[in-house]
């Protein structure tokens, strides 16, 4: 029996992540009739806050805001949420070749080795100098990247055909020299890919549009970042945000667009905004189909691989020892650990990240082996107390059907220069949103908002 379709509206938004919700809110505030179709049984996508068995509130996805994330900061305030600065007081921990070295955080991140004062690390001068030269040359590339069109940069093809790994190896085979760029690919913002998986052009582009030097991990939200989409969805109401309804097809003609949900209903509108991670567009049947260049780009822009671990303790014992809970280097399992506790330190929370090919390898181990590997890393950093958390929560984003990975997409070598102009091109009455479409801070909450706002403005212009 045919399912009756609802009345035509102005705009259908696909995906109730931050980007889709912001787009919907902007359109509704302009008086348009809007509906959001969400695949999951919850809103928020890559932003989700959960309660652990011991009662701590943790973000399983995105958690930080950055010093220059102005739209996110404004939205958080508008929604009545309260922020606090990330905890960087005290010494961080640089792990290298089995040794944990405590070092101060650099006052100027542009001059730092990762986050640290280089001179404070027990590394050979010659290695630090090689790292500095490599980073300087890389920063030179970043400065030349046209953020909106990286494929137009002089020498773009040559840079797009070189993996990050081969570009680094041609300059230095010292693992210390290579570490800062390796780290940028794995967890530095765009995140989730290894240096052999993307081009040096792509990595330089990520830093041109989302500079790590501006410290995107500056602040946190009391009660978790996942409250942001929750509150936006509450504001929009259940009649607008429809959960458990994956969009399976989108058809259009010159007069309208029809968005088909898995529940069998067809939603007619003047415009559709698709605010989902780009690789998931491949799961939607488009009529007429996407142009071949867009299909080619989708095949060459997978999501990164990211597993987030949250260890909850009764006390922030690292703070009590003058340490800030930051750890990175060459730990066998974790690529990054950071203090994510509230200012009071109670509950005490360490957030750990495993990224790229290592995340996939870890995922093949049994759950008990994965836990043991993470606990061993925490113990190597902060001693036996760290191996006895009240809770140890694992969130593997590669296993999330409606995300397929995190933090965001990366492009395969050669993809920018072969197909770059198609990246943000709409498809008739279908506009793209989602953080990946942002021209600033793609991959971040800030980018999700900017892309949602931009798509909403384009939709407004089309609806007229
Ligand atoms: C572990 C982790 C840590 C992160 N850390 C940070 C951080 O500290 N700071 C920061 O700024 N950012 C961080 N991010 C990134 C940030 O979470 C994302 O950039 C942002 O949430 C993306 O929002 P979005 O709306 O673009 O996409 P999403 O959140 O992915 O939302 C897309 C929505 O579309 C839905 N969907 C997918 N397919 C369909 C379909 N066919 N039909 C209907 N619905 C569909 C999904 O279920 C989802 O709800 C992190 C992400 C992760 C996973």
201/145 same-domain check = yes
201 within domain boundaries: yes
Number of compact structural domains in the chain: 2
96 within domain boundaries: no
- Contact between 319 and 325 (Cβ < 8 Å): yes
Residue 2: pLDDT band with limits 50, 70, 90:
low
115/201 same-domain check = yes
183/38 same-domain check = no
Tell me the C-alpha to C-alpha distance, in Å, between residue 115 and each of 129, 183, 247, 356, 378: 16, 11, 42, 20, 19
434 CB less than 6 Å from ligand 1? yes
345 within domain boundaries: no
118 within domain boundaries: yes
Residue 198 has pLDDT above 70, yes or no: yes
pLDDT, tens digit, 9 for 90 and up, residues 400-439: 999 999 999 999 999 999 999 999 999 999 999 999 999 9
| Whole-structure pTM value | 0.98
What is the chain's mean pLDDT, rounded?
96
198/113 same-domain check = yes
Residue 134 has pLDDT above 60, yes or no: yes
Q: CATH number, domain at 178?
A: 1.10.405.10
18 CB less than 6 Å from ligand 1? yes
Q: Which atom of ligand 1 is nearest to the CA of 434?
A: 26
Q: Tell me what pLDDT residue 302 has.
A: 97
Residue 190 has pLDDT above 90, yes or no: no
Q: Which atom of ligand 1 is nearest to the CA of 42?
A: 49
Separation CA 371–CA 387 (nearest Å): 10
When pLDDT is averaged across residues 371-382 and rounded to a whole number, the result is: 97
pLDDT, tens digit, 9 for 90 and up, residues 202-244: 999 999 999 998 989 999 999 999 999 999 999 999 999 999 9
134/188 same-domain check = yes
Kindly state the percentage of the chain with pLDDT values over 70.
99
Q: Provide the residue range defining the domain that includes 198.
A: 105-210
2 within domain boundaries: no
The residue among 184, 210, 236 that closes a domain is 210
Residue 107: pLDDT band with limits 50, 70, 90:
confident
Pairing of strands 9-14, 34-37: parallel
45 CB less than 6 Å from ligand 1? yes
The residue among 161, 180, 210 that closes a domain is 210
pLDDT, tens digit, 9 for 90 and up, residues 67-96: 999 999 999 999 999 999 999 999 999 999
Structure tokens at 54: 């011991």
Residue 175 has pLDDT above 60, yes or no: yes
219 CB less than 6 Å from ligand 1? no
Separation CA 264–CA 248 (nearest Å): 9
Q: Which atom of ligand 1 is nearest to the CA of 60?
A: 1
194 within domain boundaries: yes
189 CB less than 6 Å from ligand 1? no
The residue among 210, 243, 278 that closes a domain is 210
């Amino acid at each position: 029996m045919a399912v009756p379709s609802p009345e035509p509206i102005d705009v259908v938004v696909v995906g109730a992540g931050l980007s889709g919700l912001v787009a919907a809110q902007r359109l509704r505030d302009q008086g348009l009739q809007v509906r959001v179709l969400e695949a999951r049984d919850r809103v928020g996508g890559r932003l989700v806050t959960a309660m652990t068995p011991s009662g701590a509130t943790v973000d399983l996805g995105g958690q930080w805001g950055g010093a220059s994330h102005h739209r996110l900061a404004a939205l958080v305030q508008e929604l009545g949420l309260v922020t606090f600065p990330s905890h960087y007081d005290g010494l961080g921990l640089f792990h290298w070749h089995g040794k944990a070295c405590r070092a101060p955080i650099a006052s100027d991140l542009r001059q730092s080795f990762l986050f640290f004062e280089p001179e404070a690390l027990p590394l050979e001068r010659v290695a630090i100098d090689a790292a500095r030269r490599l980073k300087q040359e890389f920063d030179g590339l970043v400065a030349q990247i046209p953020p909106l069109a990286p494929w137009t940069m002089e020498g773009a093809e040559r840079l797009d055909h070189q993996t990050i790994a081969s570009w680094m190896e041609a300059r230095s085979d010292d693992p210390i020299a290579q570490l800062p760029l390796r780290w940028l690919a794995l967890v530095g913002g765009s995140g989730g890919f290894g240096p052999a998986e993307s081009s040096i052009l792509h990595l330089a582009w990520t830093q041109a549009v989302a500079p790590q030097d501006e410290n995107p991990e500056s602040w946190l939200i009391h009660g978790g970042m996942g409250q942001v989409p929750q509150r936006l969805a509450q504001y929009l109401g259940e009649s607008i945000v429809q959960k458990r309804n994956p969009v399976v097809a989108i058809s259009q003609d010159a007069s309208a667009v029809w968005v088909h949900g898995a529940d069998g209903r067809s939603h007619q509108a003047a415009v559709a905004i698709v605010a989902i991670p780009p690789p998931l567009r491949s799961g939607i049947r488009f009529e007429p189909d996407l142009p071949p260049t867009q299909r080619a780009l989708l095949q060459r822009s997978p999501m990164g691989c990211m597993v987030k671990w949250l260890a909850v303790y009764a006390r922030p014992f690292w703070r009590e020892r003058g340490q800030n809970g930051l750890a990175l280097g060459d730990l066998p399992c974790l690529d990054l650990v950071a203090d994510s506790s509230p200012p009071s330190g109670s509950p005490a929370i360490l957030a750990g990240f495993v990224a790229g090919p290592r995340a996939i390898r870890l995922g093949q181990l049994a759950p008990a082996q994965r836990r043991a590997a993470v606990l061993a890393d925490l113990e190597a950093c902060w001693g036996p107390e760290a191996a006895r958390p009240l809770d140890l929560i694992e969130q593997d984003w590669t296993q999330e059907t409606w995300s397929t990975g995190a933090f965001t997409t990366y492009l395969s070598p050669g993809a920018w220069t072969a197909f770059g102009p198609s990246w943000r091109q709409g498809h008739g009455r279908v506009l793209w949103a989602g953080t990946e479409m942002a021209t600033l801070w793609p991959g971040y909450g800030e980018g999700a908002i900017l892309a949602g706002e931009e798509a909403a403005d384009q939709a407004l212009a089309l609806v007229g």
